[in-house]
Amino acid sequence: MRDCPTTRAYVARRVAEGKNEKEIRRCLKRYITCWLHRYLTTTMTPAMAPA
């Protein structure tokens, strides 16, 4: 959480909302998972998609 500027900005927004560290980690995991899912589904070609 301390190396990536994007992550630091995300954490700063969550701290401003009054979240504690445990809640921030949970939110960050969800954010990363959603981003990864979106990336994987948009980059898959129809031949790569599961049947």
51 within domain boundaries? no
31 within domain boundaries? yes
Look at residue 17 in the predicted model and tell me its pLDDT: 93
50 within domain boundaries? no
Number of domains composing the chain: 1
Look at residue 40 in the predicted model and tell me its pLDDT: 87
49 within domain boundaries? no
Mean pLDDT value of segment 36-51: 76
Task: Tell me the per-residue pLDDT of 6-42, one tens digit each, with 9 for 90 and over.
Answer: 889 989 999 999 999 999 999 989 988 999 999 988 8
Tell me which DSSP letter residue 20 carries: -
Look at residue 22 in the predicted model and tell me its pLDDT: 94
* Domain of 13, in residue numbers: 5-44
Q: Give the three-class secondary structure for 11.
A: helix
Give the CA angle between residues 14, 11, 20 to the nearest 5°: 55
Look at residue 30 in the predicted model and tell me its pLDDT: 93
Closest CA relative to residue 24, chosen from 10, 35, 36: 10
All residues at 6 or more sequence positions from 18 whose CB lies less than 8 Å from its CB, including other chains: none
Look at residue 24 in the predicted model and tell me its pLDDT: 92
